[in-house]
Structure formats: C-alpha cells, structure tokens
Amino acid sequence: QLETLEQEEQECLKLKPHPTQKETHIVSHEHGMTVWKTLLEGEAEQQCYSFSYSRAKLQGVLLEGASLLLLRVLARRQKMLPDLVFPTINTEGDLCTSRY
C-alpha cells in the first residue's frame, strides 16, 4: 500500500535567454488531492494554477516519489511483475497510466 500524503518538486533550467523555474506541490486530503503549480519563464509574469482530484478518480494513483520507491523495491528484489500498470498524473496534470 503506497499512498502519497505530500510531494514537492522543483525544476530549474538555466538556459539563456529564457531560464525556466517550475514548482509543483501536491497534498492529499480527505476529499482527494490538490496540486499547485508555479511556472516562471524568463522575464514573463509568474503563472500559478491549481487543480484537484476526487478520491474516486485517484484510486491506485502512483505519483513520482512513490514510483521511484517502487522501482527501487523491484530492483532490489530483481523481479518485475508482468503488466504492471498504475494510474498517475502527467506533467500537465492529466490523469494517465504508467507501465513498468
């Protein structure tokens, strides 16, 4: 049973002339999960947005932090289960699936 209670991600690309900073904060709560995203590209105004998912839509969801942990456990056991598929959230915030 893997459950993400909170996750924070930060990305920084220092490419000229438009450096980019992305921050994502994900919090689980009794009604589901809320995601806050912040994007700053070059000199443009910072963009902030958030979205939420209900618990029903998130049944079995595996976020990046939990995915990394699962991959380490599978590598340690040196075993891969056939057709291992989990729902996840992509970088745009859409629900999709990850196959291992």
Alpha carbon 52 to its chain centroid, in Å, reads 13
Q: Determine if the peptide bond prior to 17 is cis (ω within 30°).
A: yes
The stretch 64-80 carries a mean pLDDT of 80
pLDDT of 2 reads 65
- Of residues 77 and 1, the one with the higher pLDDT is 77
Q: pLDDT band at residue 75, thresholds of 50, 70 and 90?
A: confident
Residue-wise pLDDT for 7-66, tens only, equals: 898 989 988 888 999 998 989 999 989 989 999 998 889 999 998 988 888 877 777 777
DSSP state of 69: H
Task: Give every CB contact of residue 56 below 8 A, 6+ residues apart in sequence.
Answer: 32
pLDDT of 92 reads 72
